[in-house]
Chains A and B, each alone.
Chain A
């Protein structure tokens, strides 16, 4: 058989026709992944503008640029946007695009569910932003503590965009996580036993498992909040025997694992980039895997450290303090594994590596201040001050955005087929690194000097004025750095040199595919013999009977032995219809229009029926 003929047959089976219909019905993980990346970047830009407004308002004391109601909406939307609409969806974009390629698969396990995840994310994001467009955005903070978020104290529709929006978005996140779990466990290339799974995929597997267990707590809390707000229930109302602390527990049972949901895939990017640009496999690969899984697990046992000032019994907060200390150990292992890998390799400081190294520096700072919060009295002193704002930006901007920028430059050639400009990449890195530290480092000090969070203004003469001005100037530099990143990427699309399949000399399977990959990813499914398959040639392939059809192999969970050949679904209108039907339901809920809710429910039922209809999709090939 010649190399060309299976390619032609595969193209006929996998290529989606261009056009609007195809754009709305696509189930291609690469198109969906690119959409996730682009949409999340758009939300990043909006959240960034909100951040700049916050910084301008706080640049000097007693500024009157923003009225307090506006400020409250903006800081709430900034948090919601960055956490729910930017970081996790963007990392999902990488997960969608890269994971099937890294695993040697032709798509995600459930391509239509994958499309559904995206459409629901987009719909939920627009739903939440509808509030801002009508001047009624959520304004009780991203963790909207009861009873402030209840019907008595924030009666407007604002917080409903929060509660209902989070329930809506949770559908997307959960569906996406299940997809990644099943893809990772069952769709690996033949021979990719569990010890040969790439670290980025491990990171996403740990993340997806955490999502499946964490999101229900958030959905429960949001559901209870909306029952209070829309239907007069009293879960958090002390006058009726409710308890506001219940909200805090439910929220942080989700909220702390969510820190790791954000952080783990980002760290997975770093664990991908550092070996590639050090030219050697990760030192103590298996320890890093264990650390990743352990972090995801321990992340569920530390939520009370967000509540040390609530007045819980001393014994229980001491227990959670100990757990919060222990969770630093897996992170320590990873930091030293990265350093050991660099020390024994030959690091090349290309743009992705610059961002990865910058990540380690800022993440160590954020990790150290994180450990400080386990020291109970210190936590009780600085919690809800700007020290916390500094800490979590070191962990979330430092710990997630730096890796995201590393991943963006690392996989850009794979996604677009073009290289980025190296010098421009270095310039952007130094601007972002300097801007980030100038913005957020002074916040440690303003917090220690007693500046509380979430204040729309502050009096002069408290020792906070200069620090806040420095932070605002840093934010301008940071924004400039991010604009240089954007310019670099746009330039690459127009004028970037051809990348070829493997511009970095990398080790994982996505670099065996074309850049950008063909719709079917691999002409012939590779057979994996190593944890770094491209560095340990030869890379054998599976021949027919796979080659020609719209199919991908299913392999066993542990050893990656071939088991079956799965026939993959074609393009479908079902995901978009489902997302739109759900949008009808949530529109009915936020306007408390029973007719619309029922109509939406019926539509959802219809789509479910269509989806469940026995058809050709499930027939064995």
Chain B
């Protein structure tokens, strides 16, 4: 039994190491904080395996007996010395070591006092069930996407609009709770460009499962272009988009959504100013394609039961024009 269990543990550990490539995996760190934590985990796993193996070995010695019931190992003299060593002395040494390692890991994973990079700082407001993302120094607001420059520590302030949520992007850093009435901070520092998935980690109601976001880490030059491009005048739009804007502005959409530079200034649903640049829709339920967007607009309750967004009864042509308009919101 003991050997089988040990074998299973080893096998699964190997499988784990081999298969740790998911884009929300703590074992595939892509940033400073997550990297430190992953190292801490591997150190602890080795320690845990040794402790577990010793206990299993002792149990095997106790349980597996010769035919006459006599113990196999007579060298051991179990008693207060064994219990004192195994139960007190060794644990105290191991636990003290773990405490020291923990304290040494903490600074690399905590938000630093000076708040990291001021220019790139982000304010995230968690809501049922999406994330508002503000860049105070750039005057940009987007939803469910956080842009950061590669290699720089970015301070992320986390707030909540309604209930307790938790911002968790496992490949970048630890999670931090979004608590109503307070502001917490976490530092994201990506080592390489890429898109890193995160999602809400604290149960926050019926669509907790669909409250994902993407952190897009860009090289500094691309990041600067993204920030600047945001304030550039929009390109010339096709006529369908102009008509689509009329559809949007004359429907119920405007009561809940905001689009910069228009009369739409609702604050119930996510900001749509940069909708077309998002990788996914509805907090990660489906990819952001015109087909899914149309399905979402017509019947959001099918994709995300319980979402605050009601369905619409737009005609086919109206919907086509609306999609054309929304496609220009980059």
Contact = CB atoms under 8 A, between A and B. Distances in A.
Contact of A145 (B20, B37, B164): B164
A141 interface: yes
B63 to A, nearest CB: 6
Interface stretch (A295-303, A324-332, A407-415): A324-332
Given A337-B87, A384-B202, A459-B284, A283 B79 contact: yes
A364 to B, nearest CB: 5
A383 B176 CA distance: 10
B80 A378 contact: no
A522 interface: no
Interface residues of B, number: 93
A588 interface: no
B185 to A, nearest CB: 8
B7 interface: no
A288 to B, nearest CB: 9
Interface string A112-141: 000000000000000000000000000111
Nearest to B74: A343
Given A336-B86, A378-B37, A147 B180 contact: yes
B170 to A, nearest CB: 4
Interface in A180-211: none
A339 B206 contact: no
B25 interface: yes
A164 to B, nearest CB: 21
B16 A339 contact: no
A463 B25 CA distance: 9
Contact of A244 (B22, B24, B80, B179): B179
B89 to A, nearest CB: 10
Contacts of A357: 59, 63
Interface in B196-216: 197, 199-209
Nearest to A385: B201
Given A328-B95, A340-B79, A347-B62, A381 B209 contact: no
Contacts of B180: 147, 238, 244
B65 A67 contact: no
A284 B83 contact: yes
B181 A238 contact: yes
Contacts of A25: none
B199 A325 contact: no
A307 B1 CA distance: 37
Contacts of B207: 68
Interface string B52-94: 1001101101110100011101001011101100111011100
Given A68-B209, A238-B180, A283-B83, A371 B76 contact: no
Nearest to B101: A375
B87 A335 contact: yes
A339 B56 CA distance: 10
Given A336-B82, A380-B176, A450-B170, A456 B59 contact: no
A340 B70 CA distance: 14
A389 B164 CA distance: 20
Contact of A339 (B55, B162, B204): B55
Nearest to B4: A434
Nearest to B38: A381
A376 B197 CA distance: 23
A566 B220 CA distance: 83
Contacts of A383: 175, 201
A329 B305 CA distance: 47
A375 B201 contact: no
A72 to B, nearest CB: 6
A336 B55 CA distance: 8
Contact of B102 (A145, A360, A374, A457): A374
B30 to A, nearest CB: 12
A339 B181 CA distance: 51
A584 interface: no
Given A318-B103, A375-B98, A449-B24, A381 B34 contact: yes
A243 interface: yes
Contact of B162 (A147, A284, A371): A147
A372 interface: yes
B268 interface: no
Interface size bracket, A side: 35 or more
A386 to B, nearest CB: 11
Interface in A30-74: 67-69, 72
A333 to B, nearest CB: 4
B233 interface: no
A376 B180 CA distance: 23
Nearest to A348: B69
A382 interface: yes
A329 B306 contact: no
A233 interface: no
Contacts of A453: 201, 203
Given A67-B305, A326-B95, A454-B203, A339 B174 contact: no
B262 interface: no
A463 B201 contact: no
Contact of A371 (B98, B103, B199): B98
A2 B174 CA distance: 74
A445 B16 contact: yes
Interface string B162-197: 111010101000111101111011000000000001
Interface string B26-49: 110000011011001100100010
A154 B177 CA distance: 20
Contacts of B90: 332
Contacts of B44: 372, 375, 378
Contacts of B82: 336, 340
Interface in A329-373: 329, 332-337, 339-344, 346-347, 349, 357, 360-361, 364-365, 368-369, 371-372
Contacts of B284: 459
Given A72-B206, A372-B44, A328 B91 contact: yes
A458 interface: yes
A145 B90 CA distance: 38
A377 B106 contact: yes
Contact of A372 (B19, B21, B34, B48): B48
Contact of B175 (A283, A309, A365, A451): A309
B132 interface: no
B105 interface: yes
Nearest to A329: B91
Given A311-B182, A336-B82, A455 B209 contact: yes
Contacts of A384: 166, 168, 175, 201-203
Residue of B73, B83, B174, B176 with most chain A CB atoms under a 10 A cut-off: B83
Interface string B282-324: 0010000000000000000000011000000000000000000
A-B residue pairs, 9 tightest by C-beta? A450-B24, A238-B181, A463-B22, A340-B78, A342-B62, A380-B174, A455-B209, A333-B87, A311-B184
